Amino acid sequence: MKLPLTYFLSSLFILSPIVDAEGEYYPDADWEKSSPESQGIELKKIKKIMDLSFSDSSTQGVVVIKNGIIIGEKYAEGYTLNSHGTSWSMAKSYYAALVGISIQRGEIGSLDDPASKYLEYYKDERSKITIRDLLNMSSGLDFPSHEHEKMFFQKSHLDYAKNVGVEKEAGLKFEYNNVNSMIIGDILYVVTGIKADKLLVERILDPIGASNYKLWKDEMGAVLTYCCVDMTPRDYSKIGLLFARNGNWEGSQIIPEGFINETFQTVWETPSRFSDYKRYYSLHWWVSKYDDESKIFNTSGKFGQYTFVDRDNDVVVTRITKYSEKDNGDIQKWGPLNFFRWAGVAPAVTAARLLLDLGLIREGSDVNTPITDDSGTSKEFYEKYQEVVDAIADLSRD
């Protein structure tokens, strides 16, 4: 039996709020909710964000947060606040934050250290590529037409990433390359002796009280640091709130504020897939608006997953697309689909969806991987992307 469409806008929980020394509210296992008006925002502004988001049938859930408090929350029919979405590339922003923490702990010297200082296999033509180059997507590594999405279909994503050579000098051009993020994961492992999924749990997720997640690994056990964290919209929003609060959580500095400040800049102007508006990129975060009115940064996932952060105004908005999570563990397995690993991204995706739909292969026993099917693939949301960003900015206008 499907659950009804849930639209929380004005429920008020009676809680004992968790506040830090500055009086800022932080959620725990529960999350305080209030009407938009109680936070100085008109109800119609929240409704506009929801209407824009749910005009796309792929939307699973949207959460709007002001001053740490939920002022809008809506889920599609059949989903609840406990339903997981999958992050795809939103995960890049999470794992990148671990670099800032490692710098603070003295495990990594600086963002401008060459990766070859930590990775023996980078002591070749890649020796001048810095950690900053990797995080800014300006490493100059080979960038084929499939943009290394073929890596997703390999048994060992890390072996694939290690074998990608140089195409151009580092620091010259922005090229969105998944390999950069996979290499970051290996640097983290070398400097800490701990795999990146455990680091993420110990250093970020546990401290902010995010406890219900799946962190995907490949068949060889390497953490997919360029994608694939399954969580609820609320837990994605907790990470957004951590960045909105300059890396601080209840008075504890989880991510160094200096690293957050480095992140929230406009380093590369990037081609926009959605509109003529300028977008930017910095340290594994996108920038969708940067002007005198507001500065809105966001994580971004392939099929339309986002967490938008306006830290000047303490606003966080998360939108995820429909996802049907299976309880088959967090280790990717391709089984009979391994044949398609060099066929190209589109053929591999088409074949996987067709064989699953026909029942010729079974999730879990034959194949185990995060999958976004057609129902979770955005179209209208992309077309209205700039309207969504402007609607988020409007939350802070008088």
- Which positions ≥6 away from 79 have C-beta within 8 Å? 3, 60, 61, 322
Secondary structure of the chain: what % helix, strand, coil (to 5)? 35, 20, 45
Task: With both helix axes pointing from N to C terminus, report the angle between 178-192 and 90-104 in degrees, rounded to the nearest 10.
Answer: 30
Query: HSE on the CB side for 371, CA within 13 Å?
Result: 27
SS3 133: helix
pLDDT at res. 318: 99
- Which positions ≥6 away from 350 have C-beta within 8 Å? none
Q: What is the pLDDT of residues 237-276, one digit of tens each?
A: 999 999 999 999 999 999 999 999 999 999 999 977 766 7
* Element at 348 (helix H, strand E): helix 345-357
**Do residues 94 and 100 lie in contact, with contact meaning Cβ atoms separated by under 8 Å?**
no
pLDDT at res. 16: 41
Give the pLDDT means over successive 10-residue stretches in the chain (398 positions): 40 45 85 98 98 98 98 98 98 98 98 98 98 98 92 95 98 97 98 98 98 96 98 98 98 98 96 78 97 95 97 98 93 84 72 81 84 95 96 95
**Do residues 324 and 70 lie in contact, with contact meaning Cβ atoms separated by under 8 Å?**
no
Give φ, ψ of 388 to 5 degrees: -65, -45
Please provide the size of the chain in residues.
398
- Which positions ≥6 away from 115 have C-beta within 8 Å? 122, 126, 129, 130, 131, 134, 183, 187
In the structure encoding, which two tokens stand for residue 179, read together? 């390999």
**Do residues 280 and 297 lie in contact, with contact meaning Cβ atoms separated by under 8 Å?**
no
Q: Could you tell me which of 113, 67, 132, 176 has the C-alpha nearest to residue 265?
A: 132
**pTM of the complete model beyond 0.85:** yes
Q: Which three-class secondary structure string do you get for 249-292? A: ECCEECCCHHHHHHHCCCCEEECCCCCCCCEEEECCEEEEEECC
In the structure encoding, which two tokens stand for residue 308, read together? 């938008």
Q: What is the pLDDT of residues 148-182, one digit of tens each?
A: 999 999 999 999 999 999 999 999 999 999 999 99
SS3 214: strand
Domain ranges (residues) in the chain: 336-367
Residue 29: burial class (beta carbons within 10 Å; 0-12, 13-18, 19+): exposed
Give φ, ψ of 299 to 5 degrees: -80, 160
pLDDT at res. 14: 34
In the structure encoding, which two tokens stand for residue 261, read together? 């400040």
Task: List strand residue ranges (DSSP E) for 13-68, in order.
Answer: 18-19, 25-26, 59-66
